Amino acid sequence: MENIEELKKELTGSIESASDLKSLEEVRVALLGKKGRITEMMKNLASLSPEEKKEMGRGLNILKSEAEAALESRKEKLAAAELNAKLEKEKVDVTLPVRPECQGRIHPVSKIYEEVVAIFGEMGFEVAEGPDIEDQFHNFNALNMPANHPARQMQDTFYIPNLESDNFDDSYVVRTHTSPVQIRTMENKRPPIRVVAPGRTYRSDYDATHTPMFHQIEGLVIDKTTTMAHLKGCLYDFVKAFFELDDIPVRYRPSYFPFTEPSAEMDIGCLKTKTELKIGAGTDWLEILGCGMVHPNVLRAGGIDPDEYQGFAFGLGLDRLAMLKYGIPDLRTFFESDVRWLKHYGFVPLDESSMTGGLSNNGGLAR
């Protein structure tokens, strides 16, 4: 039987000299593992006389717990040292300067899209979407424009042939407005409904203020007691938030859309001079959107009982808003993909639009 004192000195030495966690583990196995020295000695106790067994047993138990404590404290020290070494190696230099300004720019239409969604989002609207290629049911019929309805001629529609049918009524269209999303929303959702639907729209038109592809945002609110007063309040709050003005004169002119009754167009007050357009003041008016109370036939087409529910809808052109807000004179330039144009009129990508953080971040204009 080995001398316990001697053994203690020896094993303290080997624990202290273990220089990393791996060699410390080897020392632990050599002492306390299944075939370790202390384990073996404990097994051998059986062959001793009762007297010796008692004394040796006590000594070994003490030795074992001392060895365990010594192993544990060495382990903590080595682990701390290894962590420090790792931290030292993986050091991040937080004093590095920020990256140079990025090259890409956010297109004004994307910026306006974000701004408008941020405003309506804050009012509790959800964003809904629909396909660019529509059937005539969603683009026209369900919106109270049956085949041969004269109002279909209000919009210069691009038709897409339906290869499975010779009947012209079955041909598809690229949607002429975002209003079909009203129907798609009603088909999928029960009132109360409060959605905005931004997206691409198409009409055969081309001049300084019209391009064959343009963008609209549709709004739809349906509930049991929704009235024209809600429509007016909602749109008034919208234009103030959008043009970032405390007040802005607005007026509604009676108008006609097959899918709303009554229908109106909303104008905002402005001042037009030869060189400038100033929004929010002056004696001139600028039309910015179409709106009205959802026609009972439209509610019916969407599977909603017009005797129980009513609502309002509006639609506005996002490109036009971008031209107004950011003073861009020709709509055609929006879609020419000229990088110099984008550098001039575009926005820094990191400036997100939000009602709390700032909408347009005028300082963020790339100009």
DSSP E strands, the chain? 126-127, 133-135, 159-160, 172-174, 193-202, 213-223, 250-257, 260-272, 277-279, 284-294, 310-317
CB of 203 vs ligand PHE, minimal distance in Å: 9
DSSP 63-93: HHHHHHHHHHHHHHHHHHHHHHHHHHHT---
Instruction: Give the one residue of 108, 180, 269, 292 binding ligand PHE; rule: CB under 6 A.
Output: 292
219 token code pair:
């709004």
> Which is nearer to ligand PHE, 212 or 358 (by Cβ)?
212
Instruction: Match 């049918």 to its residue by tokens.
Output: 165
How many residues contact ligand PHE, by CB under 6 A?
Answer: 11
Helix, coil or strand: residue 112? helix
Helix, coil or strand: residue 47? helix
Contact call for residue 198 and ligand PHE (CB under 6 A): no
Contact call for residue 142 and ligand PHE (CB under 6 A): no
What residues from 149 to 178 belong to the interface with ligand PHE (CB under 6 A)?
177
C-alpha to C-alpha distance for 63 and 16, rounded to whole angstroms: 16
Pick from 181, 147, 122, 164: nearest CA to 302: 181
**Which stretch in 73-81, 243-251, 309-317, 338-346 sits in contact with ligand PHE by CB under 6 A?**
309-317
CB of 97 vs ligand PHE, minimal distance in Å: 49
What residues from 247 to 286 belong to the interface with ligand PHE (CB under 6 A)?
257, 260
Contact call for residue 141 and ligand PHE (CB under 6 A): no
DSSP 195-217: EEEEEEEE-S--BTTB-SEEEEE
CA–CA distance from 215 to each of 122, 175, 244 (Å)? 21, 11, 21
Contact call for residue 347 and ligand PHE (CB under 6 A): no
Q: What residues contact residue 179 under an 8 Å CB cut-off, 6+ apart?
A: 139, 143, 218, 259, 313, 315
Contact call for residue 320 and ligand PHE (CB under 6 A): no
Instruction: Give the one residue of 179, 211, 297, 360 binding ligand PHE; rule: CB under 6 A.
Output: 179
CB of 115 vs ligand PHE, minimal distance in Å: 19
Contact call for residue 113 and ligand PHE (CB under 6 A): no
Contact call for residue 313 and ligand PHE (CB under 6 A): yes
Residue closest to ligand PHE, measured at CB: 315
> Which is nearer to ligand PHE, 244 or 287 (by Cβ)?
287
- Where do contacts with ligand PHE occur on this chain (CB under 6 A)? 177, 179, 218, 257, 260, 290-292, 313-315
